[in-house]
Amino acid sequence: MEQLAKAVKPFLEYDLLVEKLTSRGMILRDSLRAQRKLTQIGYYRLSGYWHPALKYKFIQPKEIIKYDEFQTGTTFDSIFDFYLFDKKIRLELLCAIERIEIYLRTIVAHELGRIHPQAHFDKKNFSRFSTSIEKGDRFSEFELWHRKHQQLLEDSREDSIRSHIDNEKPIPIWVACEAWNFGTLSKLYSMLSGANQQMICDRLGIDKRQVLDNWLINLNGIRNRCAHHSRVCNRSNIRTIMTPKNGYFNLIALGSSESNKLYGLVVVIWFLLSKIGPSSDWINRMADLLDDKPEVIGLTFKSMGLPETGFPRKLFPKTIRTEPDIPVFADLIESANNQNLQILDMLREKKHDSEVDHELLKRTVESLLELAMKLEEL
């Protein structure tokens, strides 16, 4: 216990933590604000966001030594902007993954339900590897999954599930799936026989069943990071993204570094969202968000798997920003300007209200209102 106590870092109050940041070279324009943010977020949660801004040097191509000092120009405000930026990305990812999770859960339950209402109990629908017991283990993966599945059913408060349980009726897979989480779904798919996996992939336009297994593992991992409020934007994926032979993926042509970062996940998520809802504008929001990343030392487009110029909008035509077609209203604008000049000349020359051309005033106001409405429609 004495040895353990020597290894533990000393406890520091918030004001001392702020002083520690300053001593390491971080610029704090408002130390009280910095202290307040540390009380809200926590020193070590925020440390993940300033870690890329630490000084470092390369010893070998793949070996880096990091120092306990910040690079010149590192500010607390920029680090906090990084934190808020990452939060916005997490919210967009969660929004997309929610739709994907429900979609995939529905497909899996429907395809297996076609075989039998309780196909998930029949070992014939699963690989021999998942149903066999490895040396030293007490249960097979199949049995462990069913233990977890049963617990989820018992804990569920879904009316459809409670109704079946209360009436002691067998629960078909399309009802039971309402209790699943992403991890349960991912594990079930990984245990299915090759034929059943391919049946589900065919619904999604994926040529290799291992690709979907890879996606489910990555999506489950990023979902868990988002749900636990962990940093996501410049971290490596759980596994390097695999891609099918598909026109969409052939066009984008993910490289190894892109497949291992956030951009690779965005590409996969958009492929799936496009299947679910072709009218979705999620990719527009994500592209705008990524392009507007804060200026933070250590946070680059490359660290998120993106090209150095930002989000590659040419590969995603829906994200290309278009400028309003102002020339369409050129005649209207010129007419309004001419009438304005006439009114100014008239007011300079006339002294009495009776001499003002009220009809000209009325026409000018009407033309300006028309112009305003047209511009508002852009």
The highest-confidence range among 152-161, 340-349, 357-366, by mean pLDDT, is 152-161
- Do residues 41 and 154 both lie within one domain? no
How many structural domains is the chain composed of? 3
pLDDT in tens, 8-47: 889 999 999 999 999 999 999 999 999 999 999 999 999 9
CA 87 to chain centre: 9
- Do residues 15 and 93 both lie within one domain? no
- Do residues 368 and 294 both lie within one domain? no
What gap in Å lies between CA 259 and CA 248, rounded to an integer?
15
Other C-beta atoms closer than 10 Å to the C-beta of 228 total 8
Torsion of Cα atoms, 106 then 108 then 111 then 116, to 10°: -100
**Residue 331: pLDDT over 90:** no
- Do residues 224 and 113 both lie within one domain? yes
- Do residues 293 and 348 both lie within one domain? no
In a domain, 79, yes or no: no
- Do residues 33 and 95 both lie within one domain? no
| pTM across the whole model | 0.81
State whether the Cα torsion 296-297-301-307 is positive or negative: positive
pLDDT in tens, 186-207: 999 999 999 999 999 999 999 9
Q: Please say which residue of 272, 288, 319 terminates a domain.
A: 319
What gap in Å lies between CA 354 and CA 350, rounded to an integer?
9
In a domain, 89, yes or no: yes
Residue ranges making up the domain that contains 145? 84-319
pLDDT in tens, 42-66: 999 999 999 999 988 666 666 667 7
Indicate the pLDDT class of residue 166, thresholds 50, 70 and 90: very high
